[in-house]
Structures are given as structure tokens and as C-alpha cells.
Amino acid sequence: MRNPRILILDPSDELRDQVSDVIHDLRPRPEAVTCDRVDLVCDVLADDGPFDVMVAGPGLGDQAGLARLRLIHDEVPAMATVLAFDHRPDAHLRDMVQAGAIDLLQLPVHDKEVAESLERALELARKFQVPAPVSVPASAVTTSSMGAPLRTPGRVFTVASATGGCGKTFMATNLAYFLARHSGKRVCVVDLDLQFGEVSTALRLKPRFTIYDALHRDEGEEGDLAEHIEEYLVAHETGIKVLAAPKDPTEADRISSPDVARIIQAVRQHYDYVVVDTPSALTEIVLAAFEGAERLFVMATLDLPSVRNLGVFLTTLEKLRVPTDNVRLILNKAESDVGIEISQVEKLFPQGFEAVLPYAKEVSRSINLGMPVLASSPNAEVSRNMVPVVSALLPEGHLARVVTPTPHRSPGFLTRLFHRPQPRTS
């Protein structure tokens, strides 16, 4: 059995030295790793984890610190946290529990108390031992000249349409799920339908924060957007993350196209794939989402207004000199006997449709489950028709692994109640 491992997360030496001294007398003697910057903790967890216990220093006892610890706890739920503070934390007990704290140490503290606390935490962690590290692939992390980790920016895929209800959100959530499932990489959906975004609803998520909160962090908070963006994301049980649209549509007015560009850049620094959902419009916000996108999926449905507006949309892109060689068209909700044939529509668009997806009841079922249809009904025709489009985006090595899709196993009620989702291994 391996020796227990303790992560000491504290910018100052004092607590680190004390914990390092105390663990010399514990048996089996734990191995300690220190991290002095909270923004580097994900990399330490990925590179040196898993850890059984984390000792979080006094700088993390405030609301912002606890929000960060909660994120860490969501990623590594089996790691027990001991929270040290030098004056009473400005937070509710509930916040501390949600951040995974199982014990509190009021500083200065006797060595004996530290030892007892660590022993209790290690005992608890043993009961919930998870052998896997968090899923940040080390290969995706390079090092800047400052020594700080810097990821290769993620690839961006944007989904758009001229007419509402064509299936943009449906496509964006399924694409994100597929990429996460078959590449094992980190995927984030950004909901840029700022007024009426529905990504969270489609995945049955209850985001605490939105894109608006990320952009309007309290003034005076240290660090830039990229450093903090992960705190504003919500995780779906399949592993994909979501940056939700504002809760109040009026907040959308306070988000500009440069804001959107900043957001996408920030997310790209943490995620291998960024899928952007948009409203049905050609606003500056949407155009900002096209910039830097490696692929732009434009959706339409099999009815005259949608087909007509698809034509207008493509012509407008050309007029605006938006490069169209990365545009792929998708015809969705295709049905027979609706007075317009697929072949007629195909003649109008010489570039052709990358996929024709049927109208399918499995889609409504998947929305009611809060699951992408590729996860809930992988063998349905709609899923099978979507696979070639989305698998074309995977790196070549991963293509071979996409054989027969298997359903995502949703944890049962009791599992959901008592266990947080386990970290993915990459």
C-alpha cells in the first residue's frame, strides 16, 4: 500500500514548515507536497496527485478562497481538506463544508493538534480512497518563461443559425459531449446566447455563476480573467463544463464583443475544446465568436424561412469577409412529407450539407433527461448521423476508437446522493 500523501496549499512558510515537521512523527509517514499558489493547484494535482489530504492555509478562509476550494473539491472529492485560519473565517459553516473542509485549525496551533487533525483526515480519506489523479493531461501543459504553466490554447468550434429553434444548442451540447467522451480531454461549452441561453437548461444544470459574473468580478479582486474563469463554470455529470448565459436578459446589454473575445481566450487557456453556442442573429457578439473558430457549424431546418435565411446568412458572411471555408452546413429536424424535399434544398447549397439529421423523439427525451442524445440514445438514427460530423474533429489517433457508441451510464439516485462525480482519468 502506498504512503499517504498530503498537499499543503499555503503561500507562507509558517504553516508549511509546521505541517512538514509534524508529519515526521506520523506512521505510516505521509509524503508532503507544497503548493504556494492557488492558481497552480490544478497542475500540482494533475502532476503530483492523487493526494489524500489537503491542508489549506489561512489565505483561503474567505469567500473567494472557499469558492476555489469548492472547485478543487468538485474535481477531487475524495481528498479531505483541513482548513487553517488565523482569524475567524468570514464565511458560513455551510460554505466550508461545501469546500470539502473536514476540520478547522485556529492558528497558531500546537503540533499535537495538527497531528491529530491530520490523522483524522487521513483516516477519513482512506475510507474514500480514489487512486486516480485529476484529468489535466500533463502533455497539454507547457511552461512559460516565468515558470508558470501555460496550456496550448484549445480549439474553438462555434454553432450558429439564421433562424431560431434550428438545433444550435442541441448540436453544441452533443458536440461537446462527444469530444469529451472520445478524446478524454477537457471540454467547455460557452453559452453566448446572452439573452435566452438554454445550454444549462438542456443539460439540467443549475449554474451559480454566469458569463456576466465572470466579466464583472468585484473590482480589486486580484488576478486576470483567465486565472479565475474556472470558478464560474458549472460541471455536467458527463465531465463537460459550461459557462452559462446571464440569468437576467438585461445583463446581456452590458456584455460587448471584446468581452466575448476575452472570455473565449480565457476558456481556451484551460480547455482543449471550446464549443460556442450562439443566438440566431449576426450581431457583433456572434461575429466575435466566429473569429478564431476552427469550424463554424450553421444549422437550418427543412422549412422555407429557415432555408431562405440560411442563404442570406451565408451571403452576409461573405459580405462581411468572414472566411467561409471552415463553414459546415447541417440540416436538422428533417422529415418527409413536409412539402419540401431534402434534394431540393441540397441543390440550393452547392457546398452541400455535412449532415442531415432527422426529427427524432429521442431528442426530446434526451432534453428531459438533461443528457445529450449521443449519450442517452447513441444508436438512434439522429445520433448515428451526427457521429461522422463530430468525429471528424477528433485528432486522427482517436478516430479508430469511435466504434459502436455506448450509452453514458448515469449514476443511480443513491450514488448521486452520496458521491460527487469522480475525476476523469485522461
Ligand X SMILES: Nc1ncnc2c1ncn2[C@@H]1O[C@H](COP(=O)(O)OP(=O)(O)OP(=O)(O)O)[C@@H](O)[C@H]1O
390 scored as a contact of ligand X (CB under 6 A) = no
Stretch that binds ligand X, among 4-12, 119-127, 314-322, 360-368 (CB under 6 A): 360-368
Nearer to ligand X, 189 or 357 (CB): 357
The torsion angles phi and psi of 226, rounded to 5 degrees, stand at: -60, -35
> DSSP string of 160-228?
EESSTTSSHHHHHHHHHHHHHHHH---EEEEE--TTT--HHHHTT---S--HHHHHTPPTT--S-HHHH
Nearer to Mg ion, 172 or 215 (CB): 172
Q: How far is the CB of 264 from ligand X (least distance, A)?
A: 19
278 scored as a contact of Mg ion (CB under 5 A) = no
Residue labelled with grid coordinates 453556442: 277
Cα(110)–Cα(15) distance, integer angstroms: 11
Q: How far is the CB of 168 from ligand X (least distance, A)?
A: 4
166 scored as a contact of ligand X (CB under 6 A) = yes
382 scored as a contact of ligand X (CB under 6 A) = yes
363 scored as a contact of ligand X (CB under 6 A) = yes
Q: Alpha-carbon dihedral of residues 149, 152, 153, 156, nearest 10 degrees? A: -140
170 scored as a contact of ligand X (CB under 6 A) = yes
Nearer to ligand X, 106 or 364 (CB): 364
Among 135, 183, 280, 376, binds ligand X (CB under 6 A): 280
Q: How far is the CB of 262 from Mg ion (least distance, A)?
A: 22
> Which residue number places its CB atom closest to Mg ion?
169
Nearer to ligand X, 109 or 281 (CB): 281
Q: How far is the CB of 328 from ligand X (least distance, A)?
A: 16
Among 18, 81, 135, 169, binds ligand X (CB under 6 A): 169
Nearer to Mg ion, 169 or 332 (CB): 169
332 scored as a contact of ligand X (CB under 6 A) = yes
Among 22, 357, 371, 393, binds ligand X (CB under 6 A): 357
Task: Compute how many other C-beta atoms are within 10 angstroms of the C-beta atom of residue 219.
Answer: 5
In the DSSP assignment, the letter for residue 154 is P
Residue 95 host element (H or E)? helix 93-98
Q: How far is the CB of 167 from Mg ion (least distance, A)?
A: 8
306 scored as a contact of ligand X (CB under 6 A) = no
The torsion angles phi and psi of 76, rounded to 5 degrees, stand at: -130, 70
Q: To 5 degrees, how large is the angle CA 44–CA 48–CA 53? A: 85
Environment class of 229 (CB within 10 Å of its CB; exposed 0-12, middle 13-18, buried 19+): buried
The site partner of 360 among Mg ion, ligand X, none (C-beta below 5 to 8 Å per kind) is ligand X
Among 5, 73, 168, 270, binds ligand X (CB under 6 A): 168
Termini Cα distance of the chain: 23
169 scored as a contact of Mg ion (CB under 5 A) = yes
Q: To 5 degrees, how large is the angle CA 204–CA 210–CA 211? A: 130
Residue 396 host element (H or E)? helix 396-399
280 scored as a contact of Mg ion (CB under 5 A) = no
**Site for ligand X, residues 108 to 147, rule: CB under 6 A:** none
Is residue 93 within 8 Å of 61, Cβ to Cβ? no
Which residues form the interface with Mg ion (CB under 5 A)? 168-169
The residues binding ligand X (CB under 6 A) are: 161, 164-170, 193, 198, 280, 332-333, 357, 359-360, 363-364, 367, 382
